[in-house]
Amino acid sequence: MPDTRVSTSAYADTKPHYNVLDGLRGVAAITVVCFHIFEAFATSHLDQRINHGYLAVDFFFMLSGFVVGYAYDDRWGTMTTMDFIKRRVIRLHPMVIMGAIIGAVLFYFQGCSVWDVSKVTVSALLLATVLNALLIPALPGHEVRGLGEMFPLNGPSWSLFFEYIGNILYVLIIRKFSTKALGGLVVAAGCGLAIFAIWGPLGDICAGFSLTGTEFTAGSLRLLFSFTAGLFLSRVFKPFRIKGVFWICSIILVSLLAIPRIGGAEHLWMNGLYDTLCCVLVFPLLVVLGASGKGSSFTNKLSKFLGDISYPLYMVHYPFIYLYYAWVKNENLSFEQSLPGAAAVVVGSIVLAYSCLKLYDIPVRKYLTQRFLKSKGKNSN
């Protein structure tokens, strides 16, 4: 999921800041943590609790497109393609590296027979760590967990792989599109996503983590629609003010991501339709409402905190799932029996994310900005 997968603090310093969007991104990131916790008790997508948590990635992609368009569409007279690439790498990649390192350490010590570390050589683990840190995907059948993942040490990195693709497409091609042409691309990508979701083999869009045909197709469609839809919204959005929208949007978002599977194995198309409607109709509405929201002093502070930790949380929580999964499987626990551990995963992930943000991510980005960018702004976005 993504992702993430980027901070809405990316705006130029002279532009208004959309606090509610920050908060919603944080709410989605916490929901992703809960979604992954329940993977320990699922046998497939059909019986996964917090069932539609994977849609948070599509919401992240849409926020990313909105933020990138808002922050950069009007700056190309003063910013080069290389400046943009540097800014995006500085913003995103420090936490990619940190997630890979933490993932390697916790994977090696997780102690679950499902992932027998004794069969993984140190050299293979080091290679997997380097590949993950560089966002070079592993080939199916040649990665340490044996599940065909692009980034087996820190699964959420797959959405960052597609995030980079989206940013490259934007800076080289899509930013030059007229608004009308961009709208056409959004419609075409939406049709492709709907076809995959409703008539595809899965009955959902919970895919994209592998280089296999189905997975890579799904990841590409998810990125292409949601990212371009966010870009389109950034161009046509007209701000208005609405109070209390953070809580309304948060409840809607969590409800959408937590709703049980629809249709079961007999009617896969029904769940695919639900996924499509969330991405095509509801998420754009949430972005518009969030960008129009005016919060109280408390909600603004809460939104800032949630926004600050959202990306680090997304990138460092999954290694904790290794430990939790191993504990649940080794002790044969039900969710109710493991509830204290599940709570510890959520709280511990948030604490680790905040620590990484303050002690690592912000200082590293500040150094890289001063070292590699000609324009020394307050942020690296």
Q: What is the 3-state secondary structure (H, E, C) of 278-333?
A: HHHHHHHHHHHHHHHEECCHHHHHHHHHHHHHHHHHHHHCHHHHHHHHHHHHHHCC
Q: Above pLDDT 70, what percent of the chain?
A: 94
Q: Please say if the pLDDT value at position 247 is more than 80.
A: yes
List, in sequence order, every residue forming a beta bridge with 243; answer none if it has no partner.
294
Coil vs helix vs strand at 243: strand
Give residue 379's pLDDT band: very low, low, confident or very high (50, 70, 90): very low
Q: What is the pLDDT of residue 298?
A: 93
Mean pLDDT of 231-242: 90
CA distances from 143 to 8, 129, 147, 207 (A): 33, 11, 8, 18
Candidate from 120-124, 142-146, 167-171 with smallest mean pLDDT: 142-146
Handedness of CA 32, 38, 43, 47 (dihedral sign): negative
Alpha helices (H) in 134-199, listed in sequence order: 157-172, 179-199
Q: How far apart are CA 381 and CA 379, in angstroms?
A: 6
DSSP helix, strand, coil percent of the chain (3-state; round to 5): 70, 0, 30
If we measure between CA atoms, which residue out of 294, 380, 310, 288 comes closest to residue 23? 310
Mean pLDDT of 299-308: 96
Give residue 374's pLDDT band: very low, low, confident or very high (50, 70, 90): low
Look at 281 and 241; give whichever has higher pLDDT.
281
Mean pLDDT of 160-180: 97
Mean pLDDT of 193-219: 95
Q: Please say if the pLDDT value at position 72 is more than 50.
A: yes
Give residue 12's pLDDT band: very low, low, confident or very high (50, 70, 90): very low
Mean pLDDT of all residues belonging to the chain: 91
Q: What is the pLDDT of residue 26?
A: 98
CA distances from 310 to 139, 214, 248, 352 (A): 29, 28, 19, 12
Q: How far apart are CA 365 and CA 87, in angstroms?
A: 9
Q: What is the pLDDT of residue 375?
A: 52
Give residue 35's pLDDT band: very low, low, confident or very high (50, 70, 90): very high
Buried b vs exposed e over 50-86: b needs ≥16 C-beta within 10 Å?
bbbbbbbbbbbbbbbbbbbbbbbeeeeeebeeebbeb
Residue for token pair 């001063």: 370
Q: What is the pLDDT of residue 295?
A: 80
If we measure between CA atoms, which residue out of 86, 168, 97 comes closest to residue 130? 97
Pairing state between β 293-294 and 242-243 = parallel
Q: Please say if the pLDDT value at position 380 is more than 70.
A: no
Q: What is the pLDDT of residue 377?
A: 46
Q: What is the pLDDT of residue 14?
A: 60
N-terminal to C-terminal alpha carbon distance within the chain: 21
Q: Above pLDDT 90, what percent of the chain?
A: 78
Mean pLDDT of 107-126: 84
Q: Please say if the pLDDT value at position 309 is more than 80.
A: yes
Give residue 376's pLDDT band: very low, low, confident or very high (50, 70, 90): very low
Mean pLDDT of 281-310: 94
If we measure between CA atoms, which residue out of 6, 15, 4 comes closest to residue 377? 15
